[in-house]
Amino acid sequence: MEQRRARRRTAREWALDVLAFLFAVGWAGLVVLAYELDDAPLATPGWAAVADFYGWAAGCLLLWARRSRPVPVALATVLLSAVSGTAAGAMLVALYGAAVRRPPRTALLLGLLSVACGAANTLIWRDLTLPVWGNLLFGAVLTAVISFSVIGWGLLVGARRRLIGSLRERAVRAEREAELQAEQVRLAEREARLLAEQARRAERERITREMHDALGHRLSLLSVHAGALAYRTDASREEVAQAAGVIRESAHQALQDLREVIGMLRSAEEDDGAGAERPQPTLAGVEELVAESADAGMRVRLDRRLDGADAERAPGTLARSAYRIVQEALTNARKHAPGAEVAVVLEGGREEGLTVEVASGPADGDAPRLPAGSGQGLIGLAERAALVGGRLEHGPTPDGGFRVAAWLPWPS
């Protein structure tokens, strides 16, 4: 990251680098001016001036790499300050950069090294008015004051930058977490909508089955009697009146079933418990169903092989499923096998489950037939049986009839 920033400096960074270079140049000018104004005699070797100039030039050039390699540049300029007092300006700039960008321990070690190099520089540019130890002490103290002031400033700036960076990172992380939480809320709301839609769809399918089973049975009775009236033109007035009474009663029951289904729809939509709950079919209702079909002219018999106590305590889901299976099977028998004998069998108990079987013989060729349905009734019965953990099978019999058989588990 530092290398990439060094290769692609911003305008602000270029301006700061130029100022740092000018500071190093200005520091060298101040050092030269101080030597010129100082009347104290100096003891310097002949190479000292050349070393001082080249040390200063090298230090100024090294400053251009201080962003990408702050510690090596600081170390090099500190070592140069041992032989070049004019390079101390570049050293201070490099120490500041190292303190800003590197841990405090590294900056402090560089500061201690600069103190040693500053003391060593006084041995090359030695003031003859002071003893050797006095030159060393003066150089060490002066360098320590200046170097550690710059290092302390750099540490404060670096700490501030790291704090600001940490706060920005926290803000970005908090924003991301907020976005993630918002996304989770949106996903949860979407999932809730999907679950609600699935629940509504399941409720619509349940109500559709109820409408098909209840209204289909009633309307098939209406159709049978209406068809019989049209077919038997020689019927007596008593027979016509009896058929009309059955038609009227079936129409009334169909209307009542329709009202109950509409009430279920309203109750499901309002979902406030205010709607009246529809009376649920029971196993005892199968006898009424068979009797009603017999009154309508069907040749139907019921073979009930159930324990009386178990039949009275049959769970609602079991009784409702058995009732609807018998109801749909009788409706199909009226449609597709008019005049045929129909046998309804209820067998089982708490231990072995409930077996429901409706078998019809071949149709009477002279009886009027009702229009064929879509086959959705048997599909709905299979789904109804599967929902309670049972199974249903149906198909033609060898004698030309049709058989519907279901096994339903008896919940404990």
**Closest by alpha carbon to 121, among 158, 156, 147?**
147
Identify the weakest region by mean pLDDT among 162-171, 229-238, 247-256, 331-340.
Answer: 229-238
């049709």: which residue's tokens? 402
Q: Are 320 and 330 in contact (CB under 8 A)?
A: no
Average pLDDT taken over every residue of the chain: 79
Q: For 403, which DSSP code? A: E
Task: Report the distance separating Cα 87 and Cα 27, nearest Å.
Answer: 8
CATH 3.30.565.10 in the chain is located at 203-408
Confidence check: pLDDT of 381 > 80: yes
Query: What's the confidence (pLDDT) of residue 6?
Result: 44
- pLDDT for 78-114, tens place per residue? 888 888 878 888 888 888 888 988 888 988 898 889 8
Confidence check: pLDDT of 358 > 90: yes
**Closest by alpha carbon to 320, among 366, 381, 276, 367?**
381
């030269």: which residue's tokens? 32
CA dihedral 11, 13, 16, 18 (to 10 degrees): -70
Confidence check: pLDDT of 49 > 90: no
Instruction: Given CATH 3.30.70.20, say whether it is the number of domain 203-408.
Output: no
Confidence check: pLDDT of 314 > 90: no
- pLDDT for 120-142, tens place per residue? 888 777 665 668 788 788 788 88
Q: Are 335 and 370 in contact (CB under 8 A)?
A: yes
Give kind and range of the element (H or E) at residue 302: strand 299-306
Percent of the chain with pLDDT over 70: 75
- pLDDT for 3-38, tens place per residue? 444 456 677 777 777 787 788 777 877 777 766 666
Task: Report the distance separating Cα 165 and Cα 173, nearest Å.
Answer: 12
Query: What's the confidence (pLDDT) of residue 228?
Result: 64
């309670």: which residue's tokens? 388
C-alpha pair distances (Å), 363 with each of 130, 142, 336, 383:
137, 122, 7, 27
Confidence band of 359 (pLDDT split at 50, 70, 90): very high
Task: Report the distance separating Cα 169 and Cα 347, nearest Å.
Answer: 73
CA 401: distance to chain centroid?
Answer: 54
The burial class, CB within 10 Å (0-12 / 13-18 / 19+), for 130 is middle
* pTM of structure: 0.44
Identify the weakest region by mean pLDDT among 196-200, 202-206, 361-365.
Answer: 202-206
Phi, psi (deg, nearest 5) at residue 291: -65, -40
- The packing angle between helices 88-101 and 48-62, to 10°, is 30
Q: What is the mean pLDDT of residues 317-321?
A: 86
Q: Are 360 and 396 in contact (CB under 8 A)?
A: no
Query: What's the confidence (pLDDT) of residue 377?
Result: 73
Query: What's the confidence (pLDDT) of residue 264?
Result: 60
